[in-house]
Structure formats: C-alpha cells, structure tokens
Structure 1
Amino acid sequence: MNTFYLHKYPSIRLIIPWIAGVFCGDRFFGCSPQLFWGILVFCFFFGLSIALYFLERYALRWCFGIIAFALCFTGGWMGITWQLQQTTDYAFPKKETVYRVLITDVPQAKEHTYLCQVLLKEHCDSIDSYPIERKSILYLQRDSASSRLKGGDELLVFTRISPPVNNKNFDEFDYARYLTRRGISGTGYVPSGKWMLLSSDSSPISLSLPPDGTVNRSSGMSILNLRNIANSCRGKVISLYRELGFDGDELAVLSALTIGDKTDLSESVRESYSIAGASHILALSGLHIGLLCALLLFILKPLAERGKTGRCVCAVLLFLLLWAFAFLTGLSPSVVRSVTMFSLLTVAGMFGRQSFSLNTLAATAWIMLLCNPVWLFDVGFQLSFVAVISILLLQPLVFRLFTMKTKIGKYVWGILSVSIAAQVGTAPLIMFYFSRFSTHFLLTNLVVIPLVTIILYVAVLMLFLTPVSWLQIWVAEGARKLLEVLNLFVRWVEQLPYSSIDGIWLYPLEVFGIYVVLSLLFYYFKVRRCRNLIICLCSILLLSVCHVMIYWIDRPQSSLVFYNVRGCPAVHCIESDGRSWINYADTLSDKKLLKRVATNYWNHRHLLLPEEITADCQTGAFSRRQQIISYYGCRVCMVTDNRWRNKSAVSALYTIDYLYLCKGYDGHLEELTKLFAPGCILLDASLSEHRRNLLEEECRQSGLRFISLSEEGSVCFLL
C-alpha cells in the first residue's frame, strides 16, 4: 500500500487545513479579530478570482486544491471561533446575584465542597429575571443538604460568578482555557444557606435563601436531559457491582473498564497504571470498543448470514448498540472516535467495501472536529488518533522484522508489534503532557491486554446473568479474582527497577520535530533511498542542535521564586547547578498543592527534587533563622505570625530585600517598617481580599514598592 501518496487520500487533504484552521483560531482567539476577518475576506476573493479565471483550464486544476485548502482552513477557524465566543460573550454581574441553575452532571465530592456542573438558566433581581443559558461550575460547601444533590436538580443560588482565570504560575496548566474549551463560562462558590432546591426527583428540600433574594418557586419537576439519563444508568450499573461484592480498587478499575467511570480511581491506582504504561487500559478507547464490537458481531453473526436484508438489519443493530454504549459512557472523544470508526468499518465490511484505512480515519477525525472543534485539544483525542495512525503505518513494518512459525508465537509477536507501533507514535505526546516514559510497556501490554479482554467478556456475561442471581454471583467472584490479578501485576511492574523515566520536558516545537523525523524515517523504510536517509540524519542532527540550544537557554540560574499558591506560602531558593531549597512557613503547608502547581516549572528548568525546609538551618550560601532567609546576600523575611508585633527599635534592625507578608500577621505595615528596611513588599495569595487591599493601601501611602502574587502570579528574582 503506497500510503505516502497523499492524493489517494482525499480526507487527509481536507483534515490537514481544517486542523490548522482550528489551531490558529484557538491560538489567536480574542487577540486580533481583525486578523480573522482579513484572512476570511482574502480567502474568499482569492478563491473566487482563481475559480472565475482558471475554472475551465485543466492544466491549472491545482487551483481548486488551493481553494479547497483555504475553505477548510477558514472553516476550522470559524468553527472554533464561534464555539469559543458562545462561552466568553457573556458579562457576569460583579456582585452576588440570584441565579436559577440546573445541575447537569453528577456532583463530585471534593475535600470541602461539591463540584457541580450546572446550566445557568437565568439571573434574577428585584425587578425581573433575565435568561442566560450558559454552562458554569459551582462549588457548594459540603453539608448534609448538598450531599443529597444529584444531576437534574434545579436550584436557586446566591453567589458571585466570574469567568475562569489562571493563577499565572510559571508553566502551570492553563485551567481557564481548559474550561473555556469545555464551554464553561464561569465559576463560583456557594456557602451553606445560600442556595435552595427548587425541584428534584425526590421530595423537595426547603432551604433558606438570603433575605436579598425573593423569587417564586418553579412549577413541576425538572426534566432530566440525556446526560442525566446516562448518569442514572451508570449509577445503576455501579450499584449492581457493589451489590455483587466489588469494592475498593477492584470496583474502581471495573467501572473504568466497562462504563468509563473513573471517579472512584484513587491517586495510587492512577499512578501505578501510569508508571507501568497501562493508563490506556483505564480510558475507554479503541481496545475496549473493538472487543465489544467483536462480541456483538459474534452474537449477530446468524442474522448477518441471512442475505442482504439480514446484513442491513445487523448493521443497524450494531450501529445502535455501539452508540448506545458511547452514550452510556458519556460520549468522551476517545469513545466517539472509536465508535465512529467501528461503525464505519463494520457497515462497510458487511457490504464488501474496503474499510480500515487512513482515509477512513481522517474522515472520522473531520466529522468529529466538524461537530466539536475543541476536541482537537483533548489529550485523549490526540493520543487515540496518533495511536491508530501509528498502528496502521508502523505495525506491518515491525511485524515483518521477525518471522514466527507457531500460532502462539504469531499471537504474542502480534500483540508486541501493535504495542511497539502505538508506543512509538504516542511517546512524544505522552512525554509532552505527562513528563514520563514507561520503560516496561512491552511486558505490561503482553499480560494486561489478554487479561483485560477476559475481564471485559466476563463482565458482559455477568451483566447478562442478572436474572439468574446465583450464577451471577459465581461469575462475579471470577471477575473479582481477575481484577485482583490485574492490579497486582500492574503494581509489580511499577516496583521493577527503572520502571519509568520522569521529569521529562519537551517543547511543542520539539514534539513537532520528533514527528517530522518519524515521518521521514517511515518514508525511508518504504522507499529505501539513500537520499532520504541523508535527509533523516540531517533532521535528527538539526533536532538535536535545537534541543541543546533550548536546554542551555533554560539552564538553572541562581534565583528566588515566589508562587501564587493559596494556603502554601513558600520561598524557593534555586542554585545554578539544579539544587534548590523550598522554605515553607510551617509543617502544615499544603505541599501537595504547591508540587502539583510547580512541577512543570521544575522540569522546565531541569531542577533536581527540591529540599524542603521548615525550620532554622544553614548550608553553604543558604541560611534560615527566625523565618529570615539569607541566600547569596539577598534577605527575605517571611511574616506568617505575630512574632514581630508590639516590638520597637530606634532604627531598622535589618535591611530586607523582600518582606513577604502572609496570612497569620494581623498588624499594620508600619510596625514592620520600624524593624525592617524592606526593598519590596510581597503580598501572598493566602491573604484575604480585604486584608490584601488594606496592605496595598498602606504600601501606597508609605511609598513602598509592592507585588501582589494574587494578581501578578509567580515572580522570579535573579541573583
């Protein structure tokens, strides 16, 4: 198959400019709307002029390709721009307001709150109500009343909702853009007593609203949307699993494997599967849909053998069952991609058409991005398509490296060759997004894939045996044992030496370069020309030079870093050799949150694991005493309590470069300036908004330079 002749794959020629348009539309959204309209007008008149002048000249038929390219590029740009505008074009009131909301998903329990995805129906004031129809995320304070909420409940809430924002920390995950791409227009916090249940499937619960909000009660019960029906079905399946004795990690893994519910997966289980290279097992994708499709084809085989009518009925049933399963799992991008692919493959196969090809895959991607352009930025979407492309292109080459004569040998080498092909294709993306590479992925997949296949088929049998409870219990016991074996094997692989390489940092440009090199290598192995090999080697050399240059530019430098992490005041002292010390205010700081926020920055700057400091100490150029940190002659005073209050001195005792004010100090700035001569005041994110405003005003009156981390984000001072 000459896969490198692009003109044989029209869907690929369409999807490439469409992806480029979606990417550019997202990248420049909100920055320069004139640029979009300029490109749109240019593409229109350029395409129109070429079409009118050269349309009947066959020698210039390539002009039609330019027009099609421009239209696809513009279509992708318009699609993503329109979708993002639907999310960001609403201005929320600046103060607390009464909103009528509909919970659209199952509330997720957090440490102190319940995260509820809601549809804002309208906001109300003393005069009238005004429709909104925007999606939002509300954090309801945990109590006995909020614990009983579920999808489909309609509430009145009294809160302030604001557009998603980032904390502006270095290399932090862009959470605001992530929510915007998911269609979330705003977020808000709702304390206890500031919401009221209007309607529910169960008996209404009367709770008090604040006296500011007097509104009428909604009539009738809320009508559950399709998502709530799917959530209800998933809840019933999980309840059945619990009744059959599944619990803990076995229940969490079984729910993830069969219905795509990963809410009960603990961090330890996620980490074990990630290190072992088996994370793809926990995310419903082509493997799971393929196994389900094979089972359905086996069941429907007698029907398919009854002529053309039987094949048509079989195709329709298969199509409906696959999409019913996709609906049950929440229509995630990877499931939609897989179900779309297998729907096309099975229908085409039943009518004797060629089915599985790059062209079909590209058509599937184009249909998905046409329906929802933001799926392009979903990690599961990217990994799913890249894995399938790699299997299609690389697996035949890898499989032909060794010739197996026995059936068992061919089966084992088939699994390994598929795993190698998928891993080669997805490795750059995995390292880019997760900064990790699993070294034992071959061993893991050799055991895990057959085991998961058995578990899935046993789980389906277990569900079908629901009317026969005594037999279902025996099958459930077998499924439980298989899940225990699966988890034990994954944890065993996790404990093997050098099971993963962590702390990897790749730039987007490097990822693009790696895929270019892989494409050139694939092309060389297809044509075996010396010229192509030279091009490959030059590309690898160029990529290596770029990596070395970027590594040198981002080398560690002696510096002080302050992070915008609420509840975790810290001073990060960085050495030029990669060593560093993080000075926490006390042992109760939220260290996990800081590590989650700053890990990407540490990987980016190629830092070793920082040493945690919570008490006085001295080592080399670094010392800490009474929360006064000295590093290469630079002094930082962390003020986290009232130890410096009610003390006086004739003149300033210390010259402080940075006075770091955190939650816990209740005095005025004037008391501190009598003891210290600060060069700059740093206001930590742990301070309340009211307290921060007071300190900012004191700084202005005293003429002191100040930086608010809540507004500026992370700051770095080179020494």
Structure 2
Amino acid sequence: CDMNWREYPMARLLLPLLLGIGTEAIGQEWLQWVAIIAFTLLMALLAFWQKPGWRFSRRWWFGLVLNLCFFLFGILRAHFHDERRHPCYPGASPDRKSIILGRVSELQPTASKLRLSVAIQAAADTTGMLQTAVGSIIVYVDVTAGSRQLHAGDVLLLNAKRLPVQGALNPQAFDYRRYLHYQNVHLQAFVEENDWKLLAHRPSLATRARELRRFYLQVLKRHLPTNNEYAVAAALILGNKADLSDETRNAYAHTGAMHVLAVSGLHVGIIQLLVSFLLGLLRLPWRQWTLVRTLLLLASIWAFALLTGASPSVLRAATLFSFLSIGQAMKRRANIYNTLAASACLLLCIDPYLLFNIGFQLSYLAVLGIVYFQPVFYRQWYIQNRAGDYLWKLLAVSLAAQLTTLPLSLYYFHQFPLYFWLSGLIVVPAAALILSAGLALFALHLVPVVGMAVGKLLYGIIWTVNALVFLIQQIPGGLIEGFWVGKAATCLLYLILLGVVLARESRNFKWVLAALGCLLIVAALHATREVQVHHQQALVVYHVPRATALTLFEGKQAGLAGSEGLSDKQLEYACQNHQWYRRARLPASQPLSGKAHGHGWWYRRGALQYGAHRLLVVQDEGHLPGGAGLRVDVVLLCNGVDIKLEQLLEKVDFRLVLIDGSNPPWTARTWREQARSLGIECHYTAEDGAWMQEW
C-alpha cells in the first residue's frame, strides 16, 4: 500500500520545526535577522494567499511556504528562548561579588555542598543598585544548620560572584556546560555561610508539588526499611533517583531495566488506566459526566506529572495521553502518529530545548517503535496459550522499543545490555504492581492495619524484582561496553531504519537500495576509523581533581600512569569515554614512581620518552636531576611541589610547563605568573582542559 502523507498533517509540520530548532543550535548570530525578515514576508504571503485567481494546481506552493514558516519559527523560537537574549539578563561577574535576589526552585545535596537552582529576580548592576533581572543560576552553599532548613520556594539574598559554567575539561567527557545550556542555565556561584540570607518563603505550584513529594518519600521510608527497596520505590513511583546506590543503578542499567526507574510513558499510562478504571466504576447518570470524567482524568495525569518532577519524558507522556483522552471524550479516533507529532509540536513550542534532552528523544523514539514495530513482531508468532501470548506481547514491546532507541543509546551510553528482553518480562508487569501498591499506600498509610499490610506487600514486590534484576546481572556476557558511534553514523543508522519502514509500506525496492547505501557508508566510516586507530600515537594528560593521570596511546594499546590513590571512579569519569573513542584497551593504572614500556616509548620514575619527545614528571624535588643540562620538551608539575620555575630552569631545559589537577589552584596561579614572566608556554588543565600531543 502507498503511504498517504495527508493523513499526518502534524507530522509533516513537525519536521521543519525540528530542523529549525536544530539549525539555530549550530547557526550564527546573523541567522536570527535573516529568519525574522523571511518569516515576516512569508506570513504576509500566507495572509494574502486566498486571492482570486490562484489555481488549485498551485496548492503545493502553500505547503512549501507553510513548511518554511515552521522552519523559520523553529529558528526564532529557539533563539529567543535562550535566557541570555533577554534584555534583563544579568550576565557573569567573575571578578567581583554582587548582590543577587532570587527564589529557590530546587535543592539537591552533593558530596560536600548543597546545590540550589535559583531563579534570579533582581541583580546588582555595576553601580551596586538592584535592578530587575531574569535568568537562572546554580548556587553551591556549605552544608550548615542554616542551609539544612532551606526549602524550594525560599527567597534568598546572595552576595557572590556570578561565574560562567565550565565546559568539559577532558576529551569526549560529559559536557556539563552544554547540559546546563539546554536547561537554560548559564551561571553558577559558590556562596560562603555569611554571604546568603533567607528573606521569605513563597512557594509556587511546582514547589508545593515538591513538598508533597518529600512528604510521600517519608511515607515510603517508614514502610520500606532497606535502602535498595526504598530507593527503587522512590524512583519508580515518585521520580526521585537521588537515593539509588551505584550498585543498584549498575544492576538496572546493565540489564536494560533502567527505563523503569525513570518515570515516563509506562507510568503515565498505568495512571490513566487506574483512574479510568476507578471512574468507570462510578457511572453517574449526569448529562455532563463525560466532561467531568475527562477533566478528572486530565487532572490526575498532570498531578502525577507535577508530583514526579515534570521531566521531559513525563511531559511527553502527559501531553500525549491528554490528547488521547480528549479525543476519546469527543468520540474521535485520532491517528496515533498525528497525536504524537502534535504533542511534540506543543512541547517544543513551549520549550524548544527539549529537543536536545536525552529523555525526550528516547521517549518519543520508544513510543514510535512500540506503535509501529510491536504489531509487526507480534504477528510473526501466534501463541494459543494465554500466558505465553502475554509474555510474547511483552517481549514484542521490548524488541520494538529497543530497535528504535538502539542507535541513540549507543551514541549516548556506549553499551548494549543483551538481556534487556529478559529483564523486560519482569520489570514491566512489576512496575504496574509497584505503582498501584505505592499509590494505595499513599492513600491508606494512616489506616493502621491496612496501611502496614500494603507497605509489606510493596516491600515484597520490590525485593523480589531487585533480587531477579541482580540475578540477571550475574549471567555472563550480559553487557557489551565500549561502543563509539558518532553523530554521522547515528543519523545513518536511523536513515537505514527509515528506509526499511518506507520499503515495507510502499513496496518499492528503491528504499531498500537507499537503506543499503546508508549501510555501505556506515561500513566505510567504520573502516576509515579503524585505519586511523591502527596508526594512532598520542599522549594525553587528563584533568583529574586532586590527582594525576596520563595515558599514552599506541594503536589499540595504551599505557596509563597515575598518582597513588587514583580511584576507578575518577578514571572512569576522566578518561573512559576517550579510551572508547580511541578503541584502546586501557590497563590498570601504574604508579608515577614505577616503570613501563611499549613499542615506541618507555617510562621510568617520572621520565617519559615517546617518539622523539621527552616529558618529565615532577612530584617532588627527588625527581629532579642532580646536575644541570637535562633537555626535555615538557615538564609536568604535580602535587603542589615546592619549587619555583626559575630553580627548575637551572637544572632542566624545557619549552612547556604542564600543571594538572593535583595542584592547589593558588599554586597553579603562581606558576602561571612565573611562566608568563619567563616567556615559557604554560598549560593548566583546570582552565585549559586536558593536554594532548599526537605524533
């Protein structure tokens, strides 16, 4: 059958909107003025489109102009959504402290600080006068008796430097600045105990929802005494993943069950089914009962979305189910693809930066996969047994969702859990039981016997699910790690998938050829990268706070030297992605005082010879040569060694001084000033990022 695109008007308009938002993300400043002028002209053209004389055969012009309008609207909406474009945006003031008035929207404890998300209401200008301001800032305050009393909705007066958020300091590492940019946050501040003051408490609707969530978290904590069971319940029912241990996160991630702990369409769908079932029991003989029922259903969906934190995946699901509920009330059978596109258009018009949110992307792709591919897979095997048929339906859902999210999952997470299908058979039905029991506990926790019984039931379900997930994790070969799929390859993989869908729908062999062509390009990209990796030779000094780590890559082999006490978690955060990018097998870290060698390099007690280059690691004065005249290319200073560069030059001749994250900031600044006065090139990893040399 031929595909009729006229059945999907919203899907046709969504594509230019997506392209417009994406174009703005990579565009230049002048692009906004071109977009404004073109958008104005095209809107004027649309307004006068209905003039007599236009023939029906020219209707495609209308479609072209309308698509251009949506494309330009996407550019402009994304451009002006950036808080930095607002005329009242305060900007950074890294050199001096200034007054900030703002309201706390969210609190999150970290290892040593309390992290506050603050909506700026006023900020001091260069004269010190408070002016109305618009923007957001991340504020880190010391954990004290006073800061422990802070709540969302508190109005604070701060005296702090408004600092720009720092980007990724290591190659291929997580870019926190980019992440915050798409949260529309570009400033941060570190505030001491005496530099903030609580003025008032003005809770918003979202703040009250967070307070209610805190209350229900305490209910869960009373009835679920063990940490793992409480953390899973808090994540699955209320969207709070802060208490998940690394062990539990890894177990769910490595088995492909992590999606259950992120509140999304599955959870909102369960809420809709539960509320619809309860409202269906009433069947009141009111003329307006259908309207009341729909309003109650919508209120329940959005109350749950607010209660769980209103993440992008929850917003997508709430919007989608709202559209479906309204269509059902109007007795209209809506096309699911059109409804999906309409919900995406609405959310992106409100917040265009959602397009770059991982949860938003994976959520829509998973739903598209389930809607299209689940029936295709399910029809391939007919099972008469009801239990077997139910399990096959669940498996078909898991396969469909995994198929459409796989390229993006490999791009973001670089791993593939082979037993996702097995964990899906357990966690998906269990999620419905856990969510139902959790809501029942919230409603009945004050009833002594009943509340206790529901709590024990909830505990038993979660304990069983956790035990099974940890058991699946122990099965050998369950996780393949180290994939590195670039942006181009990710796009090509989705084009292959699209080609398969179009070939199936249109029965046209040209789409098969197009998919095979894309597959050939993916293979060519892979082969090209393999050749590059085979010939690579590089030395990288990473930025690791309070530690030293340097790696020498030679083909797919690598040598790693690091300071004593360098943890696996520090190494994973600093250099694992870069290791995967270079497709190298990284050995255990060798101490800087040790020795190692490879095909074209050797390392011994701080002296590294690689190719025609030399590097000297100086941790203390014992690593310096006894006499003068040693010639090296680079000197790496570590651990705040007590030495001046003038003294170092008397013994070592070098052209570049490297200062890594193991040094205190004040010591690094002193060395930097000394290097500037001596005319020596200086690289400080805490400011300039990791240092890399290829030969």
TM-score category by the smaller chain? over 0.9
Contact 2:635 2:658 in 1 (8 A): yes
* TM-superposed deviation, 1:477: 0.8
Choose from 551, 566, 571 the match for 1:589: 566
Bigger mean CA offset, 89-98 vs 342-351:
89-98
| Counterpart-to-counterpart distance in 2, 1:304 and 1:544 | 60
Quick check: 1:198 aligned with 2:176? no
Distance 1:47 1:466 in 2: 57
Residue matched to 1:112: 112
Which residues in structure 2 correspond to 1:360-439 (within 5 Å)? 360-439=339-418
Q: Deviations over 1:318-359 (max 9, x none)?
A: 111111111111211111111111112122223321135100
**8 Å CA contact 1:616, 1:626 repeated in 2:** yes
- Aligned to 2:457, what secondary structure does the other structure show? helix
Number of residue pairs aligned between Structure 1 and Structure 2: 688
Residues 136, 187 of structure 2: 8 Å contact kept:
yes
Identify the residue that residue 69 of structure 1 maps to in structure 2: 67
SS in 2 for 1:61: helix
Shift of 1:691: 3.0
Contact 1:568 1:590 in 2 (8 A): no
CA RMSD of aligned residues (A): 2.4
Q: CA deviation at 1:147?
A: 2.9
* CA contact 1:25–1:80 (8 Å) conserved in 2: yes
Amino acid aligned to 1:6: W
- How do 1:89-104 residues align onto structure 2 when only pairs under 5 Å count? 89-104=89-104
Query: Within 5 A, what are the aligned runs for 1:334-345?
Result: 334-345=313-324
**What does the per-residue CA deviation read over 1:143-187, in whole Å, with 9 as the maximum and x for residues that have no partner?**
333333222333333321212121442122222122122121311
Deviation at 1:37, TM superposition (A): 1.5
1:663-711 alpha-carbon deviations (Å, 9 max, x no partner): 4212211111122121321122444454334323322333333333334
- Provide the C-alpha distance between the structure 1 equivalents of 2:532 and 2:348, rounded to a whole number of angstroms: 37
Contact 2:545 2:662 in 1 (8 A): yes
Equivalent residue, structure 2, for 1:293: 272
Alignment of 1:506-585 (within 5 A): 506-555=485-534, 557-576=536-555, 578-584=556-562
Task: Tell me by how many angstroms 1:591 deviates.
Answer: 5.0
For residues 564 and 504 of structure 2, the distance between their equivalents in structure 1, rounded to whole angstroms, comes to 57
Deviation at 1:242, TM superposition (A): 1.7
Give the partner amino acid of 1:704.
Answer: I
1:684 and 2:669 are equivalent in the alignment: no
Aligned counterparts of 2:292 and 2:535: Cα–Cα separation in 1:
65
The aligned residue for residue 702 of structure 1 is 678
Q: Which runs of 5+ in 2 are unaligned?
A: none
1:718 aligns with 2:694: yes
Q: Partner residue of 2:129?
A: 128
Closer, same or farther: CA 337–116 of 1 in aligned 2, 3 Å? same
1:250 equivalent in alignment to 2:224: no
- Residues 103 and 150 in structure 1, CA contact (< 8 A), matched pair in contact too: no
2:56 to 47, 58, 62: 58
Alignment of 1:70-219 (within 5 A): 70-86=68-84, 89-124=89-124, 128-191=129-192, 193-199=193-199
**C-alpha offsets along residues 263-320 of structure 1, whole Å, 9 cap, x if unaligned?**
1111221111111000110001111111111110110004456465211110011111
Residue in 1 that maps onto 2:431: 452
- How many angstroms apart in 1 are the aligned matches of 2:613 and 2:506? 62
* Residues 435-444 or 93-102, more deviating: 93-102
Amino acid at match of 1:7: R
Letter aligned with residue 607 of structure 1: A
CA distance in 1, matches of 2:382, 2:526: 38
Give the CA deviation at 1:501: 1.1
Aligned equivalents of 2:96, 2:679: Cα separation in 1: 34
In the alignment, which residue of structure 1 is the partner of 2:582? Answer: 605
Distance in 1 separating the partners of 2:46 and 2:189: 52
CA distance in 2, matches of 1:14, 1:610: 51
Q: Is the 1:303–1:310 contact (alpha carbons within 8 Å) kept by the matching residues of 2?
A: no
Q: Which ranges in structure 1 are unaligned for 5 or more consecutive residues?
A: 200-220
Partner in structure 2 of residue 213 of structure 1: none
Q: Does structure 1 residue 34 correspond to structure 2 residue 30? A: yes
Secondary structure in structure 1 of the residue aligned to 2:133: strand
SS at match of 1:404: coil
Query: 1:161 aligns to what SS in structure 2?
Result: strand
1:671 matched residue in structure 2: 647
Please give the alpha-carbon distance, in whole angstroms, between the structure 2 residues aligned to 1:246 and 1:610: 40
SS in 2 for 1:156: strand
Match of 2:4 in 1: 5
1:469 to 438, 441, 448: 448
Rate the CA distance shift 1:53–1:183 in 2: closer, same or farther, 3 A.
Answer: closer
Structure 1 CA distance for aligned equivalents of residues 335 and 524 of structure 2: 39
**SS across alignment from 2:499:** helix
Give, as a single letter, the amino acid of the residue that structure 1 aligns with 2:650: K
Q: Secondary structure at the match of 2:544?
A: coil
* CA displacement 1:521-553 (0-9 Å, x = unmatched): 122233444444344333322332233224434
Give 2:638's aligned amino acid: C
Of residues 590-599 and 244-253 in structure 1, the stretch that sits farther from structure 2 once superposed is 590-599
| Secondary structure in 2 matching 1:609 | coil
In 1, distance between residues paired with 2:372 and 2:330? Answer: 25
- The 5 A counterparts of 1:217-256 are 221-256=200-235
Judge conservation of contact 2:104–2:155 (CA < 8 Å) in 1. no
The answer (yes or no) to whether the contact 2:182–2:357 under 8 Å persists in 1 is: no
- 1:132 is paired with a residue of what secondary structure? strand
Q: Distance in 2 between matches of 1:16 and 1:61?
A: 20
Shift of residue 469 of structure 1?
A: 1.7
Superposed displacement of residue 420, structure 1? 0.8
> 1:472-516 deviations in whole A, cap 9, x for unaligned?
111111111111111111111111111111111111111111111
C-alpha contact 1:87 1:185 (8 A) present in aligned 2: no
Report the Cα offset of residue 47 of structure 1.
Answer: 6.7
Amino acid at match of 1:60: R
Amino acid at match of 2:181: T
CA contact (8 A) 2:83 2:184 kept: no
Aligned residue identity for 2:342: A
CA distance in 2, matches of 1:48, 1:133: 33
Mean Cα deviation higher: 610-619 or 504-513: 610-619
- Structure 1 residues 489 and 367: alpha-carbon distance in aligned structure 2, compared to 1, 3 A threshold: same
Tell me, yes or no, if the aligned pair for 1:99 and 1:120 is still in contact at 8 Å.
Answer: no
Output the amino acid matched with 2:14.
Answer: I
CA contact (8 A) 1:87 1:180 kept: no
Q: Report the counterpart of residue 638 of structure 2 in structure 1.
A: 662
CA distance in 1 between partners of 2:330 and 2:133 (Å): 48
Task: Classify the secondary structure of the residue corresponding to 1:681.
Answer: strand
Structure 2 Cα separation of the partners of residues 305 and 519 of structure 1: 47
Q: Decide which moves more: 308-317 or 275-284.
A: 308-317
Taking a change above 3 Å as real, the CA distance of residues 591 and 499 of structure 1, as seen in their structure-2 partners, is closer
Q: Structure 2: how far apart are the matches of 1:50 and 1:319?
A: 35
Secondary structure at the aligned position of 2:560 is classed as strand
CA distance in 1, matches of 2:123, 2:511: 63
Q: Which residue of 2 aligns with 1:218?
A: none
Q: 1:101 to 1:265 in 2, by over 3 A?
A: farther
CA-to-aligned-CA distance 1:213-240 (integer Å, 9 cap, x gap): xxxxxxxx32112222111101100111
Look up the SS of the partner of 2:589 in the other structure.
strand
- Which secondary structure state, in structure 2, belongs to the residue aligned with residue 184 of structure 1? coil
8 Å Cα contact 1:567-1:589 kept in structure 2? no
- CA distance, structure 1, for counterparts of residue 675 and residue 17 of structure 2: 52
Report the secondary structure of 2:397's partner residue. helix
Q: Do the aligned residues in 2 keep the contact of 1:505 with 1:603 (CA within 8 Å)?
A: yes
2:594 pairs, out of 616, 619, 640, with 616
The reply on whether 1:628 has 2:626 as its aligned counterpart is no
State the alpha-carbon separation in 2 of the partners of residues 44 and 177 from structure 1: 31
> How much does 1:52 deviate?
5.8
